[in-house]
Amino acid sequence: MHPLLLIVTGSPSAAVVRRHGDFVDWFLRGTGLPVESVQVVRVEAGEALPSPSGISGALITGSTSMVTDHEPWAERTADWLRHAIPTGLPVLGICFGHQLLAEALGGRVGPNPRGREIGTVRVRLLPQVSGDPLLGGLPHELAVQATHLQSVLELPPGALRLAESDMDPNHAFRVADAVWGLQFHPEIGAAAMRAYIEEKREVLVREGRDPDGLLAEVVDSPWGTTILERFAALCAGALARSRQ
């Protein structure tokens, strides 16, 4: 079986990693895949991306970097996406990955004019999500985790907007049949989300936010695992169809 490619674009802080694990741990747990079924490429460390023909799909993580910084490793990853997507490869971008995917395909990314979105947020699925292989059939409103300063300000040409929140109208989109961007974090659980908020406590206070109120609103959600398991199954199904 071809592995699922996990494109790692950063990592949580050392304190979060010590207590809660890193992105690789979270995505392995969320997808339910064994470690031998996943190929990890740390692009921010300069590792090279493989040929799309040797993988079943690609999942792009979040990052502390900003897409608008146009770092060389991010530009190389965007170029890889532009070449991989026309092959029909399933792709799922998360947070930074969502933004990088949008910009690579002709969208626009920048500071969220509504400010920082952090904590457990309510994301509303739009009517056009009906029949979507990844998000279709889920409740109209999902409690999910989010933490970001930048957003997709303009979707790529031809993209279908799938979800919104009070802070971000472009929380999810799809391009073609099997390429998705999600601004929220399906891989992050409540404990890790609380750790993110605690790390940002002083910054949040300076921004006029209430860290204790945000902490009190954090809840676990089953929907992140559901979405990641669906994506893993879609990748396996796409690979099987390509071999028929």
Active site residues: 95, 185, 187
Q: Are 138 and 172 in contact (CB under 8 A)?
A: no
Closest to 59 (Cα-Cα) out of 155, 156, 181, 160: 181
Q: Are 109 and 151 in contact (CB under 8 A)?
A: yes
Q: Are 195 and 145 in contact (CB under 8 A)?
A: no
Strand partners, 122: 143
- Return the number of other C-beta atoms located less than 10 Å from residue 2's C-beta: 18
Distance CA 244, CA 239 (A): 9
Sign for the CA dihedral angle at 67, 154, 113, 189 comes to: negative
